[in-house]
């Protein structure tokens, strides 16, 4: 149980094997390469930055550009859930290397770039045309040619719009001032009129102020299209059609390009791998003929590492050193197979500090039990386990995802066991079994279960609280052991044991009805010892004697914290009950359907939808609430967390899966 033991290593190697050595280490994937801080030992060693190949990042960006562009044209929509389940193509490392050497992406990149530019250009053009179209549509009933309007010798046409509120006044004023003016309405909108005002040029100086005075907005035609508005609109829609045609043509080409260039996905991955290799070079130092690199490796991988290096290289030297007592090392969890999936829960919170104990093994037991109580249905538990089993074995998943589904698999089993305990099989579906099976039903619902939460809720509620007390006690004891391990026995006695005494005493007093009297006396004794030791010790960091006692007494207030912690575990009972009752509700609704002949189809449909829904929310609820109990009630008692994860220098892929070598 624990955090893996880790060692520091230094490798010295001849400059000539730099590239092959790094590739080999990357393929081995078991070491983290870090900065070399020792200034004294390596003070005249140089960085090797000038050797870094920056071209790779340019190439990587270009390939990424192609992938991003082309992935829009694969004909299918992808949601987040789909990408989780999508299976990836498998390549071997040598295949990848070959792809990196052979594939010519430059041409593809240029094509993609030019199509992308063209698409953007088309989009811009299209927007312009659409704006023009909207503008000119307002004037489509105008039978005149926009360009001619400006060229008349004696007559002036003025186009413009005015609000309906001002229109009548405008009309009256115009009539008053100039009799030779004609106004025609071209288009009427909700509260706006589009007008053409025809007048003699000589009258213009009188007319213009009137127009302005009535908020007449003059329209200036600013496009280069020729003809009447109707003709122009025709031209525009023709051009729009052409754009649409060209676009679908480009889309067809891009779809084809995507199909023809499947290799860009592995190409991206191998470039990414190479890029990471270049990035690591920042950490290296070199003298004239030798490079040095430093990092961390898990002790269990050391023999493998030595063997691989010996097989492939001669001009190198490797040293391992144990980390110093106070040195911060990266953390990687290493648990046995059964416990391993539960690392997901620990990692979600935070990895343990490198000097701490890994809480996962103990957490796994509680997580399992609590999940069982929260889900507590045989049907749902079994479904969850089956789905996870299918996912692990049939889908090509990443390592992380497999771990997660293994966790769900265990959780499913826990849920099923919890269901047996309370006699819940898809809620109360067993009640709907034909009467011939009543023996089986009675056994499963009445004989087998230990609890009947719908009839008599208290026993299960009390069990939840007792589990909570055990959980909290475990947390306190773990902290005590941790203190002892670090040679702080007295602190452990003062901070943890005093509380344990007080809490145990209080519990015993609460139970006095069922306990012999002698125990009650004992209980009061340990309560008093507990209280006294808390008052006397909890203020020990304060200087003043009054403050010491004062903070000691204040510390007793912590008892309310423990009370609310314990009550928090009532959620185990409540969530378990909720699962069962919601399931019952769906069963009842589904069997209420009363349509002749095809009614059973609706019943089945309703049952499927209802139970799928309940399964989803119950599992989500159980997962979250169980995690919360671990994080808030359990971890707060002892767990420091804050470990930095161990990140080995390895082959990372995004679009493809690497064959295990």
Applying CB under 8 A, which residues contact other proteins? Answer: 78-81, 83-84, 347-349, 457, 461, 567-568, 570-571, 573-575, 577-578, 581-582, 585, 588, 617, 620-621, 624-625, 627-628, 631-632
Neighbouring residues of 161: CB distance < 8 A, sequence distance ≥ 6: 138, 192, 193, 194, 195, 216, 217, 219
Q: Which is nearer to other proteins, 62 or 464 (CB)?
A: 464
Q: Which is nearer to other proteins, 551 or 591 (CB)?
A: 591
Element housing 281 (H / E): none
Question: From the CB of 80, what's the least distance to other proteins, in Å?
Answer: 4
Print burial letters for 120-134: b (CB count within 10 Å at least 16), e (below 16).
eebeeeeeebeebbe
In whole angstroms, give the CA distance from residue 322 to residue 33: 16
Q: What is the dihedral of CA 430, 432, 434, 437, to 10 degrees?
A: 10
Element housing 122 (H / E): helix 106-137
Q: Which is nearer to other proteins, 203 or 584 (CB)?
A: 584
Q: Which is nearer to other proteins, 577 or 615 (CB)?
A: 577
Q: What is the dihedral of CA 555, 556, 562, 563, to 10 degrees?
A: -140
Q: Which is nearer to other proteins, 368 or 573 (CB)?
A: 573
Question: From the CB of 625, what's the least distance to other proteins, in Å?
Answer: 7
Question: From the CB of 643, what's the least distance to other proteins, in Å?
Answer: 15
Q: What is the dihedral of CA 297, 303, 308, 310, to 10 degrees?
A: 110
Question: From the CB of 636, what's the least distance to other proteins, in Å?
Answer: 13
Question: From the CB of 570, what's the least distance to other proteins, in Å?
Answer: 5
Contact predicate 646/297, CB 8 Å:
no
Q: At what angle do helices 599-628 and 399-422 cross, to 10 degrees?
A: 110
Coil, strand, or helix at residue 645?
strand
Question: From the CB of 513, what's the least distance to other proteins, in Å?
Answer: 20
Q: Which is nearer to other proteins, 244 or 632 (CB)?
A: 632
Q: Which is nearer to other proteins, 73 or 219 (CB)?
A: 73
Closest by alpha carbon to 175, among 151, 139, 203? 203
In whole angstroms, give the CA distance from residue 87 to residue 542: 61
Question: From the CB of 431, what's the least distance to other proteins, in Å?
Answer: 13
Tokens 């001009």 locate to: 315
Q: Which is nearer to other proteins, 109 or 569 (CB)?
A: 569
What single DSSP character describes residue 428?
Answer: B
Q: Which is nearer to other proteins, 132 or 582 (CB)?
A: 582
Question: From the CB of 585, what's the least distance to other proteins, in Å?
Answer: 5
Q: Which is nearer to other proteins, 410 or 631 (CB)?
A: 631
Q: Which is nearer to other proteins, 58 or 592 (CB)?
A: 592
Neighbouring residues of 80: CB distance < 8 A, sequence distance ≥ 6: none
Contact predicate 168/226, CB 8 Å:
no
In whole angstroms, give the CA distance from residue 355 to residue 331: 9
Q: At what angle do helices 360-375 and 399-422 cross, to 10 degrees?
A: 50
625 token code pair: 């609430």
298 token code pair: 């898990």
Q: Which is nearer to other proteins, 140 or 350 (CB)?
A: 350
Question: From the CB of 348, what's the least distance to other proteins, in Å?
Answer: 3
Percentages of the chain per state (helix, strand, coil), in multiples of 5: 65, 10, 25
Question: From the CB of 573, what's the least distance to other proteins, in Å?
Answer: 7
Contact predicate 580/611, CB 8 Å:
no
Question: From the CB of 176, what's the least distance to other proteins, in Å?
Answer: 56
Q: How far is CA 28 from CA 46, 330, 402, 539, 620, in A?
A: 26, 18, 21, 53, 38
Question: From the CB of 125, what's the least distance to other proteins, in Å?
Answer: 25
Closest by alpha carbon to 2, among 355, 395, 429? 355
Question: From the CB of 568, what's the least distance to other proteins, in Å?
Answer: 7
Q: Which is nearer to other proteins, 309 or 577 (CB)?
A: 577
Q: Kind of pairing, strands 656-658 and 89-91? A: parallel
Question: From the CB of 251, what's the least distance to other proteins, in Å?
Answer: 19
Q: Which is nearer to other proteins, 81 or 546 (CB)?
A: 81
Q: Kind of pairing, strands 46-47 and 285-286? A: antiparallel
Question: From the CB of 354, what's the least distance to other proteins, in Å?
Answer: 20
Element housing 298 (H / E): strand 290-298
Neighbouring residues of 117: CB distance < 8 A, sequence distance ≥ 6: none
In whole angstroms, give the CA distance from residue 506 to residue 511: 9
Tokens 């060209």 locate to: 246
In whole angstroms, give the CA distance from residue 195 to residue 207: 14
Length of the chain: 661
Contact predicate 362/478, CB 8 Å:
yes
Question: From the CB of 329, what's the least distance to other proteins, in Å?
Answer: 21
Q: Which is nearer to other proteins, 485 or 628 (CB)?
A: 628
150 token code pair: 């400006």
Q: Which is nearer to other proteins, 26 or 568 (CB)?
A: 568
């Amino acid at each position: 149980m624990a955090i893996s033991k880790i060692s520091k290593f230094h490798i010295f190697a001849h400059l000539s094997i730099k590239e092959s050595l790094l590739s080999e280490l990357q393929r081995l994937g078991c070491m983290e390469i870090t900065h070399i801080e020792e200034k004294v030992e390596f003070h005249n060693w140089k960085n090797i930055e000038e050797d870094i190949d920056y071209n790779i990042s340019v190439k990587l960006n270009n390939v990424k550009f192609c992938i991003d562009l082309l992935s829009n044209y694969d004909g299918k929509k992808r949601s987040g859930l789909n990408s989780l389940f999508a299976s990836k193509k498998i390549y071997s490392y040598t295949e990848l290397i070959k792809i990196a050497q052979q594939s010519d992406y430059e041409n593809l990149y240029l094509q993609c770039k030019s199509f992308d530019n063209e698409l953007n250009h088309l989009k811009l053009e299209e927007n312009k045309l659409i704006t023009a179209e909207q503008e000119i549509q307002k004037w489509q009933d105008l039978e005149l040619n926009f360009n001619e309007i400006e060229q008349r010798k004696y007559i002036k046409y003025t186009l413009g719009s005015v609000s309906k509120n001002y229109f009548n006044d405008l009309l009256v004023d115009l009539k008053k001032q100039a009799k030779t003016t004609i106004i025609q309405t071209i288009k009427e909108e909700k509260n706006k009129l589009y007008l053409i005002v025809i007048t003699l040029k000589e009258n213009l100086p009188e007319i213009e102020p009137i127009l302005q005075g009535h908020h007449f907005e003059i329209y200036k035609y600013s496009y280069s299209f020729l003809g009447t508005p109707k003709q122009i609109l025709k031209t525009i829609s023709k051009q729009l059609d052409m754009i649409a045609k060209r676009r679908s043509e480009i889309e067809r080409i891009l779809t084809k390009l995507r199909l023809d260039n499947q290799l860009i996905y592995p190409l991206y991955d191998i470039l990414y791998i190479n890029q990471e290799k270049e990035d690591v070079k920042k950490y290296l130092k070199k003298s004239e003929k030798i490079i040095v690199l430093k990092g961390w490796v898990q002790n269990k991988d050391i023999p493998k590492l030595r063997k691989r290096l010996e097989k492939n290289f001669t001009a190198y030297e490797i040293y391992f050193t144990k980390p110093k007592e106070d040195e911060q090392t990266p953390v990687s969890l290493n648990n046995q197979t059964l416990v391993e999936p539960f690392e997901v829960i620990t990692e979600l919170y935070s990895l343990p500090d490198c000097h701490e104990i890994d809480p996962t093994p103990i957490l796994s037991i509680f997580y399992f039990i609590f999940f069982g109580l929260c889900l507590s249905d045989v049907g749902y538990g079994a479904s969850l386990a089956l789905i996870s089993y299918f996912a692990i074995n049939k889908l090509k998943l990443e390592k992380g995802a497999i771990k997660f589904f293994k966790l769900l698999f265990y959780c499913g089993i826990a849920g099923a066991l919890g269901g047996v305990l309370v006699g819940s099989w898809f809620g109360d579906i067993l009640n709907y079994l034909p009467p011939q099976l009543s023996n089986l039903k009675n056994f499963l619902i009445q004989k087998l279960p230990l609890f009947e939460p719908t009839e008599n809720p208290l026993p299960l509620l009390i069990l939840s609280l007792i589990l909570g007390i055990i959980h909290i006690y475990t947390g306190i004891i773990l902290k005590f052991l941790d203190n002892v391990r670090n040679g702080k026995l007295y602190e452990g006695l003062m901070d943890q044991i005093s509380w344990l005494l007080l809490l145990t005493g209080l519990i015993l007093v609460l139970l006095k009805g069922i306990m012999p009297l002698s125990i009650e006396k004992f209980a009061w004794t340990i309560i008093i010892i507990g209280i006294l030791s808390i008052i006397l010790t909890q203020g020990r960091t304060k200087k003043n004697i009054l403050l010491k006692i004062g903070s000691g007494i204040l510390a007793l207030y912590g008892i309310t914290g423990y009370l609310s912690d314990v009550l928090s575990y009532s959620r185990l009972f409540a969530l378990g009950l909720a699962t069962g009752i919601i399931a019952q509700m769906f069963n009842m609704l589904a069997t209420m359907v009363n349509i002749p002949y095809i009614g059973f189809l609706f019943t089945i449909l309703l049952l499927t939808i209802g139970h799928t829904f309940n399964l989803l929310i119950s599992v989500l609820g159980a997962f979250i609430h169980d995690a919360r109990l671990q994080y808030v009630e359990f971890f707060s008692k002892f767990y420091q967390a804050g470990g930095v994860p161990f990140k080995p220098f390895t082959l990372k892929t995004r679009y493809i899966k690497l064959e295990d070598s």
